[in-house]
A = this chain, B = another copy of it.
């Protein structure tokens, strides 16, 4: 099977970008990264991409009159790069419904919670405040609502005694770095498809789960 062409959108340090870069180093991996686009000119992730010899672009949202104009520019760059799939990796801009519709079932996002629990910001602090015993991360196809859309894969990690938002974030991030390449593989090979707003993997609903860390007790 030919490699799928993937563009990655970032805003910051790009640690999940790095996980995708590392996965794509394997010639057997079914996706290659053809472009890394940041809305933030100073995003550290751009340097990671350059070090890996990848094409990078900056589409600074401050240079556009509104979201629609920004998204149109983004869309043009993705089309020019010949992207088949788009991965959001810490991309901190809300996307317009029109843009999202243009990449329906071809745009992935990773969020550091077991969605539908704790969408949005401050997810780890909110999970700790709720007293949950399990946290995790979710890769899903993007829909116009933030952190919403058909779930491709989730990983669960325990919340441990004395966890802070930072220590929990670090544990979840480690899971993210394993989950995103796996979920992209499922999407890139066509194993994960959307039927009735749920992801079907190999013809079966709900195939992709991963428990990563051992339990605390």
Interface assignment of A79: CB less than 8 Å from any CB of chain B = no
Residue of B114, B130, B158, B207 near A211 (CB, 8 A) is: B158
Q: Does A215 touch B at the CB level, under 8 Å? A: yes
Interface residues of A in 183-216 (CB under 8 A from B): 197-199, 201-202, 204-211, 214-216
- Which of A2-10, A20-28, A131-139 sits within the interface? A131-139
Looking at chain A, what size class is its interface with the partner chain? Answer: 35 or more
Closest chain B residue to A156, Cβ basis: B134
Instruction: Please name all residues of chain B whose beta carbon is closer than 8 Å to the beta carbon of A46 when the two chains form the complex.
Output: none
Contacts of A154 in B (CB 8 A): 132-134
Whole-angstrom distance between the Cβ of A184 and the nearest chain B Cβ: 15
Distance A130 CA – B95 CA, assembled complex (angstroms)? 22
Flag A110-146 by CB within 8 Å of B: 1 or 0 each: 0000111100000000001111111010000000000
CB neighbours (8 Å) of A214 from chain B are 211
Across the interface, which residues of B come within 8 angstroms of A134, CB to CB?
A: 114, 134, 136, 154, 156, 209
Q: Separation in Å of the A200 CB from the closest CB of chain B?
A: 9
Chain B binder among A33-41, A59-67, A70-78, A159-167 = A159-167
* Assembled-state Cα–Cα distance A128/B197 (Å): 12
A17 at interface by CB-CB < 8 Å? no
CB distance from A190 to the nearest CB of B (A): 17
- Report if A153 contacts B (CB, 8 A): yes
A150 at the interface (CB under 8 A from B): yes
B151 engages A209 (CB within 8 Å):
no
Q: How far is the CA of A160 from the CA of B208 in the complex (A)?
A: 8
